Structure 1
Amino acid sequence: MKVSSMGYQVVVVAACVALAACAGTHPVRYTGLESSTQLQPNANDSSGRVPYNYSSGANWRKYSNAIVEPVVVYSGADSQFENVSEDQKKELAEYMRAQFTEALKEKFTMMSQPNVHTLLVKLTLTGAKPTKQFVGTVTKFDLAGGPYNAVQSIRGKEGALSGSVSYAVEIYDASTNQLLSAYVAKQYPNAMNVKATFGAMSASKTGIKKGAEDLIARLN
């Protein structure tokens, strides 16, 4: 008995969706971070996007300037890169610095040297997962993935076979080198965002944009 091509695709996609539903990774308290020992479970995060954080209770209003260091690509054994090449890591790191810098410009004057009233922002790219090409797009509409992704979209959760990005943000007082805030996070597109499925790194880049928006919201 032969299985039709369409039927085979539905079976494959259904299996992939089932696997995606239970195989999602979560950011960890990366041991190679400077702030690792200060990061604590984030009891105020119900989304699962920011499972660990640290806050000194800093008054952000006293800071008018910011420095964004070049993004570090995390190389620890607990990194969470899935089938991402070194070139792709470099591409994401450069994109991340550009996006976070652009977001911070809304509130701060960007500086190149430490000074008073200046934040030093250290970004670490700790993981990324590319979108499964073709299949990732199909799951937005097919009978197997469509309903699952629709529910995930409403819940603000990760879509099936979608890409993502994981990273750490550490914010210091540039003049004293005091750690003011730190957190690890995972970002990804809305589960029904079709545009973010075109290009292996598109979803990760969408996640980076969301991460930059999240940072400036935290500092307001």
Structure 2
Amino acid sequence: MKKIAVSVALGVSLVAISGSSLGSSALGQTNDHAPAALKSAEELKHDKKESWTYIKPDLSLGEYDAIQIVPTVVYQGPDAQFDNIPMAEREKFAGILTEALKEKMVKSFKVVGAPAADAMRLKFTIVGATKTTTGVGTVSSVMPIGALTNAYKSITGQKGSFSGSVLLAFELFDSKTGELLAAAVRREAPDALDITATLSTTDTVKAVASAVADKLRARLAAAKSAAPGGR
């Protein structure tokens, strides 16, 4: 029963988180299908909108004390969703996410550079991104009407006015066997009241990276502690 409880808890947590550019016309197509070029694509199940999840049946993380962080990659599939963002920018965003993961994960796990018997392997893929309307988002956040609107959006978990977003996929494997433990696709955006995140698309990505890395770290640590033999 403990293993089932851990799987359910991690699944609920993942639902709470989250190549060539096809431009704005491609946005939102993950409502219909998971990113086709992901290794975990066939395992992912649709939750709602752009949210997809897989959790290994009876998953237990109690045996994992370490985590191997694979450098974040830029999605190269034909269904990439990058809103005409240049490749150099996409690669920069990937680097930002990798650094955030290293910074956060070390608080709960031993971070290793190679496969190990007690290590999970974590891989993030940036599937898409939308641009922040530089300057406009900041102004809308501080003007009275904009501030009120964004306060409501913050409470309800919506992104702020004119704020960009990042479509992320993460896959968690056993680092030795390569077995898929969990995977998810989510579109993430900064808290609607985070004014600094509206200064540029890069600032938006930094805010998203920090929040996602910290949230995932906490939930993986909680799932490990709840598992038999976890601590």
Compute the TM-score of the two structures, normalised by the length of structure 1.
Answer: 0.80
Secondary structure in 2 matching 1:161: coil
Task: Work out which of the two has the higher radius of gyration on C-alpha atoms and give 1 or 2.
Answer: 1
SS at match of 2:123: strand
Give the whole-Å Cα distance in 2 for the aligned partners of 1:93 and 1:67.
16
Output the CA distance in 2 between the equivalents of 1:212 and 1:138. 28
| In structure 1, distance between residues paired with 2:52 and 2:219 | 15
Q: How many residues align?
A: 192
1:73-129: CA deviation from partner (whole Å, max 9, x where unpaired):
002122121232211111111111111122211222121221211111111111112
Q: Give the SS at the match of 2:121.
A: strand
What does residue 70 of structure 2 align with?
A: 69
Amino acid at match of 1:70: P
Indicate conservation of the 8 Å contact 1:196/1:206, yes or no.
Answer: yes
User: Could you tell me which residue of structure 1 aligns to residue 53 of structure 2?
Assistant: 53
Query: 2:48 matched to 1:37?
Result: no
Residues 7-28 of structure 1 deviation map (CA, whole Å, 9 limit, x = unaligned): xxxxxxxxxxxxxxxxx84855
In the TM superposition, what whole-angstrom CA distance separates every residue of 1:172-214 from its partner, at most 9, and x where no partner exists? 1111111000001122111121111112311122011111012
Q: CA–CA distance in 1 between the matches of 2:214 and 2:158?
A: 18
| Cα distance in 2 for residues equivalent to 1:95 and 1:39 | 26
Q: What amino acid is the match of 2:88?
A: D
Contact 1:27 1:185 in 2 (8 A): no
Cα RMSD for the two superposed structures: 2.0
2:197/2:203 contact within 8 Å kept: yes
Q: Distance in 2 between matches of 1:159 and 1:176?
A: 41
CA distance in 1 between counterparts of 2:103 and 2:181 reads: 21
Within a 5 Å distance, the mapping from 1:95-110 to structure 2 comes to 95-110=96-111
The C-alpha deviation readout for 1:15-59, integer Å capped at 9, x for no partner, is xxxxxxxxx84855101100001000237xxxx6x7111001321
CA–CA distance in structure 2, aligned partners of residues 152 and 131 of structure 1 = 16
Contiguous gaps of at least 5 residues in structure 1: 1-23
Of stretches 140-149 and 61-70 in structure 1, the one that deviates more from structure 2 is 140-149
d(CA) in 2 for partners of 1:33, 1:98: 22
Work out whether residues 27 and 166 of structure 1, in 8 Å CA contact, stay in contact via their aligned partners in 2: no
CA contact (8 A) 1:42 1:53 kept: yes
In 2, are the aligned partners of 1:27 and 1:186 still within 8 Å (CA)?
Answer: no
Contact 2:63-2:118 at 8 Å conserved across structures: yes
Structure 2: where are the runs of 5+ without partners? 1-26, 222-231
In 1, Cα distance between equivalents of 2:218 and 2:28: 25
Q: Cα gap change, 1:151/1:165 in structure 2, threshold over 3 Å: closer, same or farther? A: same
With normalisation by structure 2, the TM-score equals: 0.77
Q: Which residue of 1 aligns with 2:148?
A: 147
